[in-house]
Amino acid sequence: MSPSITRLQIDTLLAVIRLGDADRLGWWRSHSLDEAGEYLLAHMFPNTWMATGVELAMESSRIRHNMALNRPTAIHLFSDYLPFHRELRAWLIQRKLDKDFEPLAWLPDAPVGQLRVNLGAPSAGERRGDGIYLGDIPRRSLDDSAALQECLARLASAYAGLDDRFAAPYLDLA
């Protein structure tokens, strides 16, 4: 496991990604770990289908967030300004190399309620267009590990309160 990402951070990111899958709330319109995804991906990637499915869903979520927010200073969970999607991708690649998929085993059957619990109490924000504004984040915070952890918790908890109508939680880069 990458020393820069913790198990709690991984599980939080995985919960957001899975929550947006087509068989859950459908935000990304991806089928990473549902029956359709398993059928297709298991035939193409028999040994690594689950990690590959999560990677594809994460990329779908990045695209969906970027389309909803449509500006680079809106910092979302999978934003290039934050390290989380890069670190999770590296962790998923390591799972493939090690053939260790046990940390992903809970995801296919995780119900929406459990995924929401993994994200913490829903945080309130202000709906602005296709996004949910949660406040500002100073540029200097992007280099501070404690501030990044707080940012992850703040952004992730906003997904817990969303229904099937997607709005991208974000912070404005100040």
- Express each pLDDT in 123-151 by its tens digit: 889 999 999 999 999 999 999 999 999 99
Radius of gyration of the chain (CA): 15
Range of the domain at 21: 7-173
State pLDDT tens for residues 7-35: 999 999 999 999 999 999 999 999 989 88
Domain count, the chain: 1
How far apart (Å, rounded) are the C-alpha atoms in residues 13 and 49? 18
Task: Please indicate, yes or no, if residue 2 is contained in any of the structural domains.
Answer: no
Task: Report DSSP letters for 22-52, one per residue.
Answer: TTTT-SS---SSSHHHHHHHHHHSTTTHHHH
Q: What is the mean pLDDT of the chain?
A: 94
Q: Is residue 77 part of a domain?
A: yes
Given a cut of 80, whether residue 3 has pLDDT beyond it is no
**Statement: the pTM of the whole predicted model exceeds 0.85:** yes
